[in-house]
Amino acid sequence: MMTSNFILKEKLTAYQRWEMNSLDAPDPTLKDQPAIPENNTQPNQANSLPTEEDIAAIFQQAKTAGYAAGYQEGSTAGYTEGRKAAEVEVKAEIARLQTLLSNLDQDLHQIDQQVADDLLDLAIALAKKMVIQALKLKPELIVPIVQEAIRNLPNAMQHPRLYLHPDDAEIVRLHLNDQLAPDGWSIREDTQLSRGGCRIEANGSEIDASPEVRWQRILSAIGHNDSWLEKDE
């Protein structure tokens, strides 16, 4: 008798019942893929819009960035303009100082020249006073003056004439008469002559050794012009 191979369903308690897989079962290789929404509806747009706080933060950030950029640009522009203005001002100040220094140099030069001229005038005035006082204190100084004038004459002379102030003529006769007489000198008085000078005439020529002429020769040698003191001085 053939044994039946069928087992009752109630006796399958210790075994898992095998069932045929569904043909629509998902592919195991795709288990890591994100699940596709069951419907094709778009996500809620309200969830993607920025909130009021987000807008305020964005505005504040833009404001801060704009202020920083504007401050930097303004600082750069202000520094450039300030530097240019400072350079112009410094150049103007340098030019003003150079003008002042140039004027000061000219003023100092003029002062130096004026001081030198004043000192020279003082020296000339003192020299005049000394000559006048020397002739008054020592009238014999007329003697070397006459001797110097005679030495400037040529050797061959005919009828030489010596003109002197009357007071000086007396002194010259006293000291030089013995030397002049042998050579035919004639001593003559001239009230128009100043004391301390003489005039010589011989052979149609004349030598003026008056104080005025001698003084002008001295001043011409140093490049200066001045007149002799008045006779009453």
The helix/strand/coil state of 192 is: coil
DSSP string, 58-90: HHHHHHHHHHHHHHHHHHHHHHHHHHHHHHHHH
State both tokens at 180. Answer: 């002049």
Q: What's the pLDDT score for residue 190?
A: 93
The helix/strand/coil state of 147 is: helix
| CB neighbour class for 226 (10 Å; exposed up to 12, middle 13-18, buried from 19) | middle
- pLDDT tens-place string over residues 113-168: 888 778 877 887 788 788 878 888 888 989 999 998 888 777 667 788 999 999 99
- pLDDT tens-place string over residues 17-63: 555 555 555 555 545 555 555 555 455 544 567 777 777 787 778 77
- Residue 159's nearest CA partner among 206, 209, 207, 203 is 203
Which residues 6+ apart lie within 8 Å of 211 measured at CB? 131, 194, 195, 196, 197, 228
The helix/strand/coil state of 144 is: helix
- Model confidence, pTM: 0.49
